[in-house]
């Protein structure tokens, strides 16, 4: 399976999300309608910078053909997807922070991680 569609979708979803022009809205949609503290918003902006970086790296690597750089991006996106899904499940189950898009975000990140794993395995075997 070619990773080009995966990396394109990841870039188009994660890069705009990473801009976090309105982090309080993103936090509220994910974790519920609480007023986040200024420190939380600053951490959200720092995390957004990382997500923006992932989106840019995916866009740059989307047309590579089994290069070490592309495999590195796939590994990073796989780790990102698994960890984000786990953190969001923890927020829902243990901390009981649930916003309107939390479960759809969890499903999205799990699906993207599975897709990334399939692409990584197929790309690594060739």
Task: List the pLDDT tens digit at each of the 126 positions of the chain.
Answer: 789 999 999 999 999 888 876 888 888 889 997 788 889 889 888 998 999 999 999 999 999 888 898 999 999 999 999 999 999 999 999 999 999 999 999 999 999 999 999 988 876 555
Distance separating alpha carbons of residues 41 and 29, to the nearest angstrom: 14
Provide the CA 8 distance to its chain's centre, in angstroms: 13
- Tokens coding 2: 């070619």
Question: Could you give the angle at the alpha carbon of 73 between the alpha carbons of 72 and 76, nearest 5°?
Answer: 85
Distance separating alpha carbons of residues 14 and 8, to the nearest angstrom: 10
The residues, ordered by sequence, that sit 6+ positions from 121 with a Cβ below 8 Å of its Cβ are none
Q: Which candidate, 82, 106, 81, places its Cα nearest to that of 93?
A: 106
The full length of the chain comes to 126
Full-model pTM: 0.86
């Amino acid at each position: 399976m070619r990773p080009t569609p995966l990396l394109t979708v990841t870039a188009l979803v994660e890069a705009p999300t990473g801009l976090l022009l309105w982090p309080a809205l993103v936090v509220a949609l994910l974790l519920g309608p609480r007023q986040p503290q200024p420190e939380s918003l600053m951490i959200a902006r720092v995390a957004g910078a990382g997500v923006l970086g992932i989106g840019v790296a995916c866009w740059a690597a989307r047309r590579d053909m089994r290069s070490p750089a592309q495999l590195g991006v796939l590994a990073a996106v796989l780790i990102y997807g698994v960890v984000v899904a786990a953190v969001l499940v923890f927020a829902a189950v243990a901390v009981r922070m649930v916003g309107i898009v939390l479960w759809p975000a969890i499903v999205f990140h799990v699906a993207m991680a599975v897709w990334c794993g399939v692409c990584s395995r197929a790309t690594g075997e060739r």
